[in-house]
Amino acid sequence: MKDINTIKRLLISLLVLSIALGCKEDFLERPPTDSIVDASFYKNDDQVLGATGLLYSKVWFDYNDKASYNIGDFRSGTTFSAYNDRGNVLFNTTGTTPENGQAWRAFFNVVGQSNLAISNINRYAGEAVSPAMKRHGIAEARFMRAVAYRHLVMNWGAVPIIEDNLKILSDTTIQRNTPESVWRFITSEMRAVAADLPATPIRPGRITRWSAEGMLARFYLTRAGVGATGNKRNQMYLDSAKYYSERVITLSGASLLRNYADLFRYPYDNNAESLFSLQWVFSPGAWGTQNSTPAYLAYSSDIANGDGWGGDKSATWWMISQYEGIDITPSGMKGRTLDQRLKATYMLPGASYPEITQTIPGGEQKLIFPFNNASSKSNYLSIKKYVTGKAKDVGGQAAQQNYGHDTYMLRLAEMYLIYAEAALGDAPTTTDAKALAYFNKVHTRAGLPAVETALNFGMIFKERLCEFAMEGIAWYDLVSLHYYNPTKAYGILNQQDRGLFFTEPDQMPNPTSWTFTKTSWANNDRTINANAGNFFLPIPSAELSQAPNLLKPAIDYYAK
């Protein structure tokens, strides 16, 4: 018997879903006694927090697992896989590409679970639940739903807005809503959420007013380009992006970590820079509440825990060229960089990581990334970001496909760069003193000299690439650009080199420079052809086969 489409299947399952786990140690290791839909469950404030705890982890699992970097980094061109996930690497994501369906399902899972939480809190919250906690729980759910819809609209364009799970179960005519109305919906939601969230987290890792206002800064910067004509963004929305980003910078109490690499060293969860993170927990015997992604990123089992399947993943040639000091030469690229983010994001031959234990013949040592494949003239600059090592390196909190460290969804560094881009707007350059100061907060933290003259779009775009590579963000930066200047977005993508290359250190270990040479025998699949026909993701085939209304023209959600 054929199954129904994912949206309905997920929403039906959510009606009978029990929360087996809540959020972080306080809740994830203490399952509640009642079903999520049991009226007796919502008896006090702790139980309401337990009910919304799942929104920080398990509902995002299928996106975080592999889809996040496949969409966010492989499609954007910061990173590639030589033998796996080639459809995403080559910008040929189809309706049957696994990560496409996984991301779609995950985002609608977030939407459905959030809707259910809102409904249940409104229906079942007992007299012992404080009005403040009731508002807080509903605000958490609305926040997550809006963030999920931001991902949906930026990946697939027009998508159906669902606020009530029960209504859709009997509605066979569900259609997509226009991108403009989706952006209006999520911006309105996030503004309401900000008013109902506290200034400080109610528990470690919980969202705050500043999480919501940070999302508003992000939303408005992107929304400024939605529906744009003549490559001109909406100035009112650019001003709103400046307003909210500066509020978070000056009022939230958040601060940049002094050392960039510490953002991804154990233990880094819920640090001073994090505005919103998915809250994973090392949970032996459980599935879906742990962070599985490091299993696919670590380059070898030598530094992992029975996994380490990322040996063919690497920074692209194009991405390496973005780091200051890596210079183009007649025969390739050569140099070194002061940018500390390179070592913290990708591993180059000879680089040392004393926080990670490496298995070597006859014993162990602190990791020195090896220099291999000199004969084939191809090797990989493997992923460091989110790779924290063996169980012994993280207090025993690691096992195969089971890690406890969180996934950043929003960091303070982005607020500084949002302000700079919003201040620049559509002008060719800006000398705005505050924009320069905020840009330099991020730039100099990376070990680079301050920019003292003017900023342009290319500088800010490059800064975001280097700051957020392998955090699933670069693709969404290109989508934001595409809204108002698709030609420029296609140009960036089509000029990239995503093919094999060879990186040779000048000495081992602790090199002072590297030489990069394109692999001569691997000249195929170095570039892609991004265009209007393949830029956005196709709706997964399984959904279209069961919900053909998704092919109908999109309608304005607010047109009654």
DSSP 316-363: -HHHHTTSTTEEEETTEEEE----HHHHHHBPPTT-EEEEEEEEETTE
Residues in a beta bridge with 314: 80
Sorted by where each begins, the domain ranges of the chain are: 294-408+499-518
Q: What is the pTM of this model?
A: 0.93
Average of per-residue pLDDT values in the chain: 92
> What pLDDT sits at residue 169?
66
> What pLDDT sits at residue 52?
93
Could you list the beta-strand ranges (E) of 152-209.
none
Q: CA end-to-end span of the chain, whole Å?
A: 37
Please tell me whether residue 177 adopts helix, strand or coil conformation.
strand
Closest residue by Cα to residue 290 from 206, 406, 389, 137: 406
Burial tier of 95 (Cβ tally within 10 Å: 0-12, 13-18, 19+): middle
Please tell me whether residue 84 adopts helix, strand or coil conformation.
coil
DSSP 411: E
What are the angstrom distances between the C-alpha of 512 and each of 133, 336, 349, 449, 504?
55, 7, 11, 19, 11
Query: How many degrees, rounded to 5, is the angle at CA 259 between CA 256 and CA 262?
Result: 95
Burial tier of 426 (Cβ tally within 10 Å: 0-12, 13-18, 19+): middle
What are the angstrom distances between the C-alpha of 428 and each of 229, 460, 551?
17, 12, 39
Closest residue by Cα to residue 466 from 326, 341, 325, 344: 341
Closest residue by Cα to residue 219 from 143, 272, 115: 143
Distance of CA 546 to the CA centre of its chain: 29
Distance CA 366, CA 117 (A): 46
Residues in a beta bridge with 276: 410
Residues in a beta bridge with 363: 360
Cβ(536)–Cβ(478) below 8 Å: no
Distance CA 525, CA 530 (A): 13
> What pLDDT sits at residue 286?
87
> What pLDDT sits at residue 39?
55
Burial tier of 450 (Cβ tally within 10 Å: 0-12, 13-18, 19+): exposed
**Which residue is listed with tokens 């259609």?**
175
What are the angstrom distances between the C-alpha of 554 and each of 175, 177, 322, 551?
7, 5, 38, 8
> E strand or H helix at 276, and its extent?
strand 274-278
Please tell me whether residue 314 adopts helix, strand or coil conformation.
strand
> What pLDDT sits at residue 545?
87
> What pLDDT sits at residue 151?
98
Structure tokens, 4: 């129904």
Q: How many CB atoms are located within 10 Å of the residue 517 CB?
A: 17
Q: How many CB atoms are located within 10 Å of the residue 515 CB?
A: 16
> E strand or H helix at 501, and its extent?
strand 501-505
Residues lower than pLDDT 70 in the chain: 1-40, 169-172, 560
